Structure 1
C-alpha cells in the first residue's frame, strides 16, 4: 500500500506540532509555478497566537531541512490557522465553535444557519435565530444528519459576556 506525500509529511510533522501544544489540522502541497508550497494548518482549543505559529514554523522547517520529505526542489513553508470561516470536520472543531454561528448543509438536503450551544458525542444543540422579531428556537442535530458545516463570519457578533447577561435578564 503506497502512502501519499501528504500522509508521509503528516507522520513526520504531527509529533512536532503536538509537542508545541497544537493540533495538526491540514497539510497540503501545491504547485505554484515552478515552486511548491507546503501549507500546514494548526490550531488548538484556545487558538494559536503568532508566537506559537513562529515556534512551530521553525521546528517544522528544521525537521524538513534534515530529511528529504520535500524532495530536492525548492519549496516554501507556510504555517497558519484555519481562519474565520473554518470547515467543521472533527468533533473538536465543533467544540471550538461553541457560541459561533454556523451554516449547516443537512444530509437530507437543505441548510440551516444556527448558533452552537452545546456539543456532545452524538451531535450539537443549536439556537436557530428568530426571523422578523420572533424568538430564537432550540434544535438538535445528530452528527450523521450534518453533511457539511462551516463557521460564519459575524461582524456584529455578541461576545460570550453579552450572551450571559441576556440569559440572566
Structure 2
C-alpha cells in the first residue's frame, strides 16, 4: 500500500474508530489475487468485544463506500482485534499489558537477549517487571527503560489463575 493511500485511509478511518471509543492500531492493504483486502485492527483499554468490532466495521464500510479511498476495483474489509499474542509497540499497549506475561527482546545496549516477565507497572520512562524464579527460586523485580526494549510481545498463559481464584485461595 502506498504511503499516500495509507495516510488517506488513516485520516478517513481513525476519527470513525475513535468515535466508537476504540484506537486504530493497524491498517494494511494486501493484494489477494485480483482483489484487495483492507485489514483494520482496533482495540481499547477495556478491549473490544464482538459487538463493538461489528459496529465499527459497519461505520468504516459506510465511509469507504462514500469515498474513493480504496480506488476502483473490489476489496474486502476485515476488522478485528490484535489477538492474544499482541506485539507491544505504543505506550498504551504496555499499559494494557499490566498483569500479563511478556517476552522482551532486549536492545544490544541493554545486553541483548530475551527476558520473559510479568508487567507490574508502566510509566513514561519504562516498565516495572516481576521476573519469575527458576528452579524453586523466588521471583525478582526488574526495571526496563523503553529504550532497552527492541520488541515485546504478550504471551498466552493457559494456567494463570485469575484474581478471583487467587483471592479465594488466600481466604
Calculate the TM-score normalised by the size of structure 1: 0.94
Is the 8 Å Cα contact of residues 99 and 160 (structure 1) preserved in structure 2? no
Q: Offset of 1:163 from its aligned partner? A: 5.1
Are the structure 2 counterparts of residues 163 and 10 from structure 1 closer, same or farther at C-alpha, using a change threshold of 3 Å? farther
> Which stretches in structure 2 are left out of the alignment for 5+ residues?
none
Matches within 5 A, 1:1-169: 3-108=3-108, 109-162=112-165
SS of 2:21 mapped into structure 1? coil
Are the structure 2 counterparts of residues 164 and 93 from structure 1 closer, same or farther at C-alpha, using a change threshold of 3 Å? farther
> Which stretches in structure 1 are left out of the alignment for 5+ residues?
none
Q: Offset of 1:157 from its aligned partner? A: 1.5
Are the structure 2 counterparts of residues 53 and 90 from structure 1 closer, same or farther at C-alpha, using a change threshold of 3 Å? same
Query: How far apart in 1 are the matches of 2:100 and 2:118?
Result: 5
Q: Offset of 1:161 from its aligned partner? A: 3.4
Are the structure 2 counterparts of residues 162 and 131 from structure 1 closer, same or farther at C-alpha, using a change threshold of 3 Å? farther
In the TM superposition, structure 1's runs of 4+ consecutive aligned residues that sit over 4 Å from their partners are 162-166
Query: How far apart in 1 are the matches of 2:91 and 2:26?
Result: 15
Q: Offset of 1:29 from its aligned partner? A: 0.2
Are the structure 2 counterparts of residues 107 and 29 from structure 1 closer, same or farther at C-alpha, using a change threshold of 3 Å? same
